[in-house]
């Protein structure tokens, strides 16, 4: 069996090897644990899938920026196991211009799971952070007003997952300002879809077309955009005990100490030197393990939501603190819990390979 993982290469160039090798020991420790049943695809079928993937990427105007796994100069990396045979986790780094279109076509054309980690992995862990923040603060998910900056591939996936939780309202800001229906023709297809499907809401009483105008009176801020987009004054204008997930790297939309000083109850970033790192490494090892063990042919929205709840539920209520709303990337409970949760959903929904 194979899983295709797509990674976004912002510059359209191969990522430096050291970006992966720094964390290779963690990745490989969990990838090795993925291999738990016999392969269901032959070597010839795997190679046919690889060829099909490359054709989809190039025919959609995409560029294969890197074809490697954990720094290896192979298209597919065989994961060792005690018995004969192996799985392949196929790693692609793709230029951003067509990443969403490429992923969607791959999902349509292949009968193996396809997963854009920079997009969906981030969304899963963000969702887990919101779930546990609500537990800690006694907030109801269905009452939340959420605002976010960034509506690209990661932002759009976060919006879908968060709205799928059942939040009351979700507002967004991008290069065109606050996302509203009256600017519909200015947006690329992703934002149009989010508006058409009612995922992004238009603020009813927007005082100004700005981040400050959007963020006022909301409960949760999510940032996947650029540094220093949010000020202390903006945080103070939010509802009491706001949740701030500022994930721009290396400099977040607002520094954690500034957000806390302004009244934030919970703050998460994409950085490892602050508490509550929203890191997609919490999602994909367990997600892949569950998909592989089930023999899944797809990773769908229900499996992603299940992964988010799996991550969140690793921490018992008595473990939750404002500086500990999601597990550490090195918490060995995470992959096993997420895998079991995802596997259960895949089997219950009959998303598995027959025979």
Q: Tell me, yes or no, whether 215 and 189 share the same domain.
A: yes
- Name beta bridge partners: 2: 88
Report whether 204 contacts 193 (CB < 8 A): no
* Residue 85 domain-assigned (yes or no): yes
* Domain with 112 in it: 2-118+280-319+328-348
Give phi and psi for 8, each to the nearest 5: -85, 130
Q: Tell me, yes or no, whether 124 and 265 share the same domain.
A: yes
Q: Is the pLDDT of residue 274 over 60?
A: yes
Q: Tell me, yes or no, whether 93 and 147 share the same domain.
A: no
The fraction of the chain above a pLDDT of 90, given in percent, is: 57
Q: Tell me, yes or no, whether 99 and 192 share the same domain.
A: no
* Residue 230 domain-assigned (yes or no): yes
Closest CA to 118 of 3, 10, 8, 5: 8
Q: Is 154 left (phi over 0), alpha (psi -120 to 50) or beta?
A: alpha
For residue range 34-49, list pLDDT tens digits in order. Answer: 322 233 455 566 566 6
- Name beta bridge partners: 198: none
In the three-class reduction of DSSP (H, G, I as helix; E, B as strand; rest coil), residue 168 is classed as coil
193: tokens are 């879809």
Q: Tell me, yes or no, whether 113 and 129 share the same domain.
A: no
Q: Tell me, yes or no, whether 130 and 265 share the same domain.
A: yes
Positive or negative torsion for Cα 273, 279, 282, 285: negative
Q: Is 263 left (phi over 0), alpha (psi -120 to 50) or beta?
A: left
How high is the pLDDT of residue 352?
82
* Residue 353 domain-assigned (yes or no): no
Band the pLDDT of 124: cuts 50, 70, 90: very high
Higher pLDDT, 350 or 170: 170
Q: Tell me, yes or no, whether 178 and 82 share the same domain.
A: no
Beta-carbon contacts of residue 122 (< 8 Å; ≥ 6 apart): 154, 157, 158, 224, 247, 278, 280
Report whether 179 contacts 173 (CB < 8 A): yes
Query: What's the mean pLDDT in 166-184?
Result: 96
* Residue 275 domain-assigned (yes or no): no
Question: Cα(272)–Cα(81) distance, rounded to whole angstroms?
Answer: 32
How high is the pLDDT of residue 253?
98
For residue range 216-239, list pLDDT tens digits in order. Answer: 999 999 999 999 999 999 999 999
CA 122 to chain centre: 2
- Name beta bridge partners: 268: 245
How high is the pLDDT of residue 112?
80
Tell me, what CATH number does 130's domain have?
Answer: 3.40.50.720
Q: Tell me, yes or no, whether 12 and 85 share the same domain.
A: yes
Q: How many domains does the chain have?
A: 2
> Rounded to two decimals, what is the model's pTM?
0.78
Beta-carbon contacts of residue 183 (< 8 Å; ≥ 6 apart): 176, 177
């Amino acid at each position: 069996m194979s899983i295709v993982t797509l990674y976004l290469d912002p510059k359209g160039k191969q990522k430096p090897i050291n970006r992966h090798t720094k964390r290779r020991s963690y990745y490989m420790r969990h990838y090795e644990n993925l291999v738990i049943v016999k392969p269901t695809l032959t070597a010839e079928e795997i190679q046919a899938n690889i060829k099909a993937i490359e054709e989809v990427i190039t025919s959609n105007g995409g560029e294969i920026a890197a074809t490697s796994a954990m720094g290896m100069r192979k298209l597919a990396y065989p994961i060792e196991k005690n018995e004969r045979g192996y799985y392949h986790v196929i790693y692609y780094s793709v230029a951003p211009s067509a990443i969403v279109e490429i992923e969607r076509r791959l999902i349509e054309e292949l009968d193996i799971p396809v997963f854009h980690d920079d997009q969906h992995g981030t969304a899963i862990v963000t969702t887990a952070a919101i779930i546990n923040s609500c537990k800690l603060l006694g907030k109801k998910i269905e009452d939340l007003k959420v605002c976010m900056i960034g509506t690209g591939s990661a932002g759009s996936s976060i919006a879908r997952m968060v709205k799928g939780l059942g939040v009351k309202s979700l507002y967004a800001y991008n290069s065109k300002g606050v996302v509203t229906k009256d600017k519909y023709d200015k947006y690329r297809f992703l934002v149009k879809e989010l508006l058409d499907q009612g995922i992004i809401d238009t603020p009813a009483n927007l005082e100004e077309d700005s981040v400050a105008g959007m963020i006022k009176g909301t409960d949760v801020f999510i940032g996947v955009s650029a540094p220093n987009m949010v000020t202390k004054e903006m945080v103070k204008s939010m509802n009491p005990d706001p949740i701030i997930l500022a994930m721009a790297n290396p400099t977040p939309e607002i520094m954690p100490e500034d957000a806390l000083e302004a009244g934030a109850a919970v703050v998460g970033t994409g950085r490892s030197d602050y508490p509550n790192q929203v890191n997609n490494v919490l999602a994909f090892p367990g997600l892949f393990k569950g998909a592989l063990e089930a023999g899944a042919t797809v990773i769908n929205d229900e499996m992603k939501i299940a992964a988010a709840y799996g991550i969140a539920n690793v921490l018992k209520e008595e473990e939750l603190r404002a500086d500990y709303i999601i597990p550490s990337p090195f918490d060995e409970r995470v992959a096993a819990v997420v895998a079991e949760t995802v596997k259960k959903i895949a089997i219950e929904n009959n998303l598995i390979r027959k025979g």
